Amino acid sequence: MHQYRETLPRVRITRREMLKRVARFRKLKGSDGGLPDSRYPGCERILYNVIGFQPPKNEGKGGVTSPVGSKASRLAAIKISEGFNLGYCRALPGHGPMFHNHDTNETFIAMTGTWRASWYDNRGQVQHVDLKPLDLISFPPGVARRFMNVTPGSKRRHAILMFVIGGNAPRAEFTAASVAELVEAGYWKPVPEARQAAAKKPAKKKAAKRKPAPRRAK
C-alpha cells in the first residue's frame, strides 16, 4: 500500500489563537479619511481594513500612501503580514476613488450592488467593465485604475466592494491628473519633499551657554 507523505510544514493552533484571525463585519472599524481624495465630492467612501495593510515605507512622501489611507492602515482587524491584504469599500451610488496606481496586484470583487472598474488602455483611453455580485477583476501593478458604485435605483443605498491587494505594505499613488484636480479644487496641498525631509530630521539641541567663571580677587 502506498504511503502518502506530507511535505509542507504543519503547525497546530489553539482555538483562542485562531479566533484572533476571525473578523466580524459588524465589529469592523471603518475610516472615511486619510487619502487625498477622501473629502472630494463624489469620492466619499468608507474603507475597512480587514487583513494586513501595514503602513508602507516612505508613507506621505510625495503622493505615496497606503491603499486604505493612513488611518485605516493602522486599524487592521486581523493584524498579520502574510503576503496579501484584504478590505472592503462601502459607498453610495456615484461614489468611488479617483484614478490611482498600486505597486502590487489589486483584485476587486463586487459583494453587493454594481461596481464599475475603469482603467487606461494602451492608447490612453479609459475602458471599463461593470461587476455584479461575485464578479471579479484583477489589476496588475502599474495600471492606473478607479472604481465606482453604479448600482441603479435608490441613491441612498450603500453597496460593498471587496479588494485584495498583494504584498505586506503595498503603496498607492494617485495619478498626476487626479492630484492636479484635487489641488486646484483646494482639497489637497502636497507637502514639498524638502519640507518632508526637514521634518524627519531630529532637531538639533542648542548648546548650553557657559556661565563666565567668577573673577579672582587680585
pLDDT in tens, 38-77: 999 999 999 999 999 988 887 777 778 999 988 889 899 9
* CATH no. for 31-188: 2.60.120.10
CA distances to 87, 145, 212 from 36, in Å? 19, 15, 54
C-alpha distance from residue 8 to each of 2, 11, 51, 68, 82 (Å) = 19, 10, 24, 33, 16
Q: Over the stretch 160-212, which tens digit does the pLDDT of each residue have? A: 999 999 999 999 999 999 999 999 999 988 666 544 444 445 555 555 556 56
pLDDT value for 60: 73
- 16: which DSSP letter? H
List pLDDT tens digits, range 79-130.
Answer: 999 999 999 999 999 999 999 999 999 999 999 999 999 999 999 999 999 9
Question: What does 109-161 look like in DSSP terms, one character per residue?
Answer: EE-SS-EEEEEE-TTS-EEEEEE-TT-EEEEPTT--EEEEE---S-TT--EEE
The predicted pLDDT at position 212 comes to 61
Q: Where are the alpha helices (DSSP H) in 51-122?
A: 69-72
